[in-house]
Structure 1
Amino acid sequence: MNVSYILGLFLVFLVALIGGFVAKKLKFQPIIGYIIAGIVSSAILPIEKTRVQELAEFGSILLLFSIGLELSIEQFRSFFRRVLVSSTIQIIIVSIILFFVLKLFTVSNVTALVLSLGFSLSSTAVVVKMLFDRGESETIHGKIMTAWVLVQDLAVVPIMIILPLFASGAENIWLTSSIAIIKALSVIVVAFILGKSVVPYLIHKVAEMNSRELLLLTAVSLAVGTAAGVAYLGISPALGAFIAGFVISESQENHAVFTETRPLRDLFVALFFVTLGFFITPQLIIANIGKIVLISAILMVIKFLVTIFVSYLLKFKGKTMVVSSIGLAQVGEFAFIIFSSASILGIISPEDSAVGIAIGLLTLIISPFLYSKSYIFWKFLRSKFNIFSSLDRNLLEETSFSNHIIILGYGRVGSWVGKALIDQAIPFVVVDFNQQVVNECINYGINAIYGDPSENEVLDVVNIQLAKAVVIAIPDRISQESIITHIQTISPNTRIISRVHLDEDYEKLKNLKVDKLVQPEFEAATSIIKNILVTMGKGKDEVNKSIKSIRLSHAKI
């Protein structure tokens, strides 16, 4: 093997390590560090880029395979219809608007179409990380955003199908398109049939052998084999890997397969994104800096406004509508794969691909900062326009609640509290931002109001001043802080009991002088500890003493 090739491979992994480390320190996604590392290294290091890029293409195959593996209809079944419709409409509208915007920058029709399709997609990795970092994964807007980007991941299927058509130069584009679509649908149907019968059986039999090596080899063979098979049909090999992953996701062993393939995927994905950075030279950035910044700003504004519009039409309201729209305003990692594939196929120039990647990279860097200000921006919009309030105006009627309990959020925690109150015949009212939950409560004779519990207006409707206590069962700290502050302002004598998720959230809410904070994970730990001590033969007094000591330590956090 050529020594320069081995040296180049070593240097790529080295700069990926450095870029990933810096990105981690700055709390960015690793892919941002990888791409920037590629930009810097391409100008100063002697890397044989062509051969390394060929190997990096394997990274895109494994990336799409693992994304397909993580997809599950069950993840967004409760929002499936609305999110499927809204996400699809958003992609179409954003693509059309951005197409004409890009034409203003003297871009060719085909290039404008490819770039606009890529720009219409949002980043699964960034959205999931932003939600996790803020403890908002289980909120309504968190679930909607997650479902939204997962539907967009599925949208890459038709996009990758039509890409080769632009490179074919076919005179009868409709005939060529029809043939390509029939081929793709045939592959999907065959994959679905195999996914319900052959593949789960094969994976299960391999898993029964208790060999991690064989499970890994089986998974990679399925990914690469499917990629190679569809490539012969003129379909993107990366798309084939995505379909293979989606098929395996329906098997019982999908989590084990994901665990085994993830290290290999991460290795080659780092290689892939570093090589993407090779094409974004410092000279190209300097020459196009104005265009990159301007288009980045325009596309983020367009995506925000279109998502607001679509969300409003489909009955998403208030904070959910605004926060979700800001969180989905960036360009996703799938766009980079689309641009790279289009460049390899000769559909767009390497320079246009590089500019597109640079624009997407800038939105990824900006997005977490904008999302951190999303609540402030929502409150500003709410103060100016009534459509940004989540409260149904029909519910603004005088209520006779008094000496009651208010439960904010009727999910897993809130519903158990409600059941206990029903058993004790204690009056209570529920406020939840899930219309289905509210309807179910009403059907069971439970007083319930649809609205965002973090909106002051909503809280005022349920007579906080006359309530005995408020139970805050929603999970995100930002909303909790807003609710607590409002209650303490208008009804300082009302008792507040709040759940809390993270240790840092516990400390911040404790500073607000909340009457009682309950951390489900901590309570689970104390229950486990108690059972272990009893199992080990410890006496009741000794067990209680140990639990008391642990609670005192936790209170000092």
Structure 2
Amino acid sequence: MDTLPTIVMLLGASVVSVIAFRSLNLPPVLGYLLVGAIIGPHAADLVGGLTGAQHLAEFGVVFLMFSIGLEFSLPKLYAMKRIVFGLGLLQVVLTLAVVTAIVTTLGMSWQEGVALGGALAMSSTAVLTKLLTERLELDKAHGREVMGVLLFQDIAVVPLLILIPSFSETPERMATMMGLAMLKAVLVLSVVLFFGQRLMSRWFFIVARGKSAELFMLNVLLITLGLAYLTEVAGLSLALGAFVAGILISETQYRHHVEEDIKPFRDVLMGLFFVTIGMMLDVSLVIANAPLVLGVLGALLIVKFALVLGLSRLFGSTFGGAMRTGLWLCAGGEFGFVLLAEMRHLKLVPSAVLQAVLAALVLSMLLAPLIVQYSNQIVLRFAASEWLMRSMQMTQLAAKTMNTEQHVVICGYGRTGQYLARFMEQENVGYLALDLDPERIREATAAGENVIYGDAVRRETLAAAGVARASVLIISFAEARTSERVLEHVREINPALPVVVRTLDEKDLDALLHAGAAEVVPETLETSMVLASHALRHLGVPHAQVLEHFRQTRIGHYRTLRGFFHGESDAEEDTLDAEEARLHSILLTDGAHAVGRTLGELALDKHVVEVTAVRRRNVRTLEPAADTHLGAGDVVVLLGTPSALAAAEERILRG
């Protein structure tokens, strides 16, 4: 089949799947897999087989491995070495051993067992990292264990991609191939890393000096694909070269810029890769072997959960914490699909077994968010120590606030929370801070500060912190969605309590005010006001006048400061949300629909757009009235999201 129709079909299917699964709040990867199964050769066969699509999908694996390389940090590995090379290593090795034992017992070869064990040992870095971030559990004990194990799994894919191809050969040939592959890998990695680290920073400096976004992007693609090609020529995998390229760039100051530039390529091509994985799924064969699929799924979830639970306990976790880590890691992951694709290419595993494992991985990833969502309830149901620990935490928290009234509750004790606490202390105002970082709490309590371990997102924590008797609550972290959940609980416990919320910019200001915040403090706007106050003082403007101006600005919820004109640098730095409100100027030429009409007649509020100013003959009128007549040559300044601005501009110019 021609390449262009294949690309169009895959892109169309990908767009539909992402829209559908995002609307259901499910990982898009599952949508890709489902669409692949529908359009693949075993179902509708809309793309004429796998061959054309797989060539595109290979680049998805390349960019995924490149991204993993970018995240590869020696200091990070050293800081987490006990979890990564202890818990992570043992989890992968023991999963390989258990799966190999089961497979050989069923009459298959040990090579097939190791290959399948590698695929089943993986968990989803993309899904679990997103869930940990959304649930603010990265700093919790089980969050650190999950991240450490995921990091080792990502690293383990590299030797597995070298090892698995040798399994399709005879034992003598396999030993030779493995030895040769390992030798090549060591030589290539040694040469590239030794010389590459010296050259990469200098080369990127030369490229960056050109101050061209497209030159920088071309250079990233050249390095990624160039090193992938070199490792393939050396008889190794494309993925290994991409991984090495990521490691090299991770040691430079351009790492974060590269990560943002490569993200669109990675996400699109990875989507195509998962579509091709879905195309491998033979639904009729899966249904015919449903008992086998469910058996593999059950074994996967139970065995991985039991292994991680036991290992986490071995490494000192409580039973409840170990259960949480096991529940988070028991499902499969995207690298399992990468290894299955390699097995299919080498015809290493019987088709029925491959289909059963593939279907089990897909189902496990569908179940992963649900397992995580109910993990706390499961742990509390089976771990008696969790009830005791939770009860002790709440008792300790309640004891601290039992005789306290009119105090301040500070949610989050990071840098901002600590500065707030110092202000309260200087004014002799009692406060209690809640935080989830054990190390930070240990240091702060040793210094005599009033902070305690507690999750502000939980209703019972807020109740124990004395929110019903507090005078004000401050949310010091800039996570809008999490802040809304805290506000919801506060409204239930003490609807009259004023809540002050921190946010990064004006994007979430209205939503937080609507959720019940008494005051919302956008960092970017407040920083601008502080800078302005210093500048105006040096210009001789009376301090009282400046303070009054700022007071009125805050009373109006920063209305006069909202929005900014979007430029190329904002797009390049990826600092602007796609649907964040921005300012846009429209020049009214002769024949424009708005000429001769009033702002009220245009009814721009229907498009959720505000007119912030009208400029006429170099005179600018701020917040013009609805009866303002517009004429040719006027410039109308609008505030709204990009989509709303486009509709309003169409209305103004064409009617």
Name the TM-score, length of structure 1 as normaliser: 0.81
1:482 paired with 2:456, answer no
Residue 557 of structure 2 corresponds to 550
Question: For each residue in 1:219-278, what CA deviation from the matched residue of structure 2 results, as whole angstroms up to 9, or x when unmatched?
Answer: 222222222222233322212211211221111112222222222223322222111111
1:343 paired with 2:344, answer yes
Between the aligned partners of 1:80 and 1:66, the Cα distance in structure 2 is 21
Residue 36 of structure 2 corresponds to 38
Residue 64 of structure 2 corresponds to 63
Structure 2 contact 96–114 (Cα < 8 Å) conserved: yes
Between the aligned partners of 1:527 and 1:318, the Cα distance in structure 2 is 46
Instruction: Choose 1 or 2 for highest CA Rg.
Output: 2
Report the number of matched residues.
522
Q: CA deviation at 1:423?
A: 6.2
1:440 paired with 2:443, answer yes
Paired letter, 2:111: V
1:331 paired with 2:313, answer no
Q: Map 1:115-154; keep pairs closer than 5 Å.
A: 115-137=116-138, 139=140, 141-154=142-155
- CA RMSD across the alignment: 3.7
In structure 2, do the counterparts of structure 1 residues 261 and 494 end up closer, same or farther at CA, with 3 Å as the change threshold?
A: closer
Paired letter, 2:23: K
Residue 210 of structure 1 corresponds to 211
Residue 364 of structure 1 corresponds to 365
Residue 497 of structure 1 corresponds to 473
Structure 1 contact 533–543 (Cα < 8 Å) conserved: no
Q: CA deviation at 1:38?
A: 0.8
Structure 1 contact 11–47 (Cα < 8 Å) conserved: no
Q: CA deviation at 1:539?
A: 3.3
Between the aligned partners of 2:392 and 2:181, the Cα distance in structure 1 is 47
Residue 467 of structure 1 corresponds to none
Residue 653 of structure 2 corresponds to none
- As a proportion of its length, which structure holds more helix? 1
1:20 paired residue among 15, 18, 23 = 18
Q: CA deviation at 1:74?
A: 5.3
Paired letter, 1:85: G
Question: For each residue in 1:143-202, what CA deviation from the matched residue of structure 2 results, as whole angstroms up to 9, or x when unmatched?
Answer: 443343223211212222211221232417556544433332233323322342112221
Between the aligned partners of 1:407 and 1:507, the Cα distance in structure 2 is 13
2:490 paired residue among 510, 513, 532 = 510
Residue 520 of structure 1 corresponds to 502
Structure 1 residue runs without a partner (length 5+)? 455-471, 553-557
SS in 2 for 1:183: helix
Q: CA deviation at 1:137?
A: 4.4
Q: Map 1:312-323; keep pairs closer than 5 Å.
A: 312-317=313-318, 320-323=321-324
Structure 2 contact 123–329 (Cα < 8 Å) conserved: yes
Between the aligned partners of 2:426 and 2:221, the Cα distance in structure 1 is 54
In structure 2, do the counterparts of structure 1 residues 308 and 219 end up closer, same or farther at CA, with 3 Å as the change threshold?
A: same
Structure 1 contact 340–353 (Cα < 8 Å) conserved: no
1:185 paired with 2:167, answer no
Between the aligned partners of 1:140 and 1:416, the Cα distance in structure 2 is 26
Between the aligned partners of 1:145 and 1:295, the Cα distance in structure 2 is 23
Q: CA deviation at 1:33?
A: 0.9
Q: CA deviation at 1:379?
A: 2.2
Q: Which has the higher contact order (CA 8 A, sep 6+)?
A: 1
Between the aligned partners of 2:332 and 2:124, the Cα distance in structure 1 is 6
Structure 1 contact 498–518 (Cα < 8 Å) conserved: yes
Q: CA deviation at 1:206?
A: 0.9
In structure 2, do the counterparts of structure 1 residues 511 and 105 end up closer, same or farther at CA, with 3 Å as the change threshold?
A: farther
Paired letter, 1:37: V
Q: CA deviation at 1:527?
A: 1.8
In structure 2, do the counterparts of structure 1 residues 493 and 392 end up closer, same or farther at CA, with 3 Å as the change threshold?
A: closer
In structure 2, do the counterparts of structure 1 residues 413 and 373 end up closer, same or farther at CA, with 3 Å as the change threshold?
A: farther
Question: For each residue in 1:113-149, what CA deviation from the matched residue of structure 2 results, as whole angstroms up to 9, or x when unmatched?
Answer: 2111111111111012222333444555444433432
Q: CA deviation at 1:282?
A: 1.8
Between the aligned partners of 1:154 and 1:388, the Cα distance in structure 2 is 38
Between the aligned partners of 1:185 and 1:40, the Cα distance in structure 2 is 42
Q: CA deviation at 1:335?
A: 1.0
Residue 228 of structure 1 corresponds to 229
Structure 1 contact 5–48 (Cα < 8 Å) conserved: no
Residue 465 of structure 1 corresponds to none
Name the TM-score, length of structure 2 as normaliser: 0.70
Structure 1 contact 76–143 (Cα < 8 Å) conserved: no
Structure 2 contact 70–250 (Cα < 8 Å) conserved: yes
Residue 310 of structure 1 corresponds to 311
Structure 1 contact 530–547 (Cα < 8 Å) conserved: no
1:283 paired with 2:284, answer yes
Question: For each residue in 1:394-446, what CA deviation from the matched residue of structure 2 results, as whole angstroms up to 9, or x when unmatched?
Answer: x99xx999769998865434544555577678898888665543553466466
Structure 2 contact 68–246 (Cα < 8 Å) conserved: yes
1:412 paired residue among 406, 410, 415 = 415
In structure 2, do the counterparts of structure 1 residues 379 and 97 end up closer, same or farther at CA, with 3 Å as the change threshold?
A: same
1:82 paired with 2:105, answer no
SS in 1 for 2:172: coil
Q: Calculate percent identity across the aligned residue pairs.
A: 23
1:541 paired with 2:539, answer no
Between the aligned partners of 2:187 and 2:408, the Cα distance in structure 1 is 57
SS in 2 for 1:550: coil
Structure 2 residue runs without a partner (length 5+)? 504-519, 560-655
Mean alpha-carbon deviation: is it higher for 215-224 or for 423-432? Answer: 423-432
SS in 2 for 1:47: coil
1:258 paired with 2:238, answer no
Between the aligned partners of 1:212 and 1:195, the Cα distance in structure 2 is 23
Q: CA deviation at 1:37?
A: 0.5
In structure 2, do the counterparts of structure 1 residues 197 and 336 end up closer, same or farther at CA, with 3 Å as the change threshold?
A: same
SS in 1 for 2:289: helix
Between the aligned partners of 1:429 and 1:543, the Cα distance in structure 2 is 29
Between the aligned partners of 2:365 and 2:379, the Cα distance in structure 1 is 21
Q: CA deviation at 1:107?
A: 4.5
Question: For each residue in 1:328-385, what CA deviation from the matched residue of structure 2 results, as whole angstroms up to 9, or x when unmatched?
Answer: 2221111111111122133234554343222111111111111111222222234x34
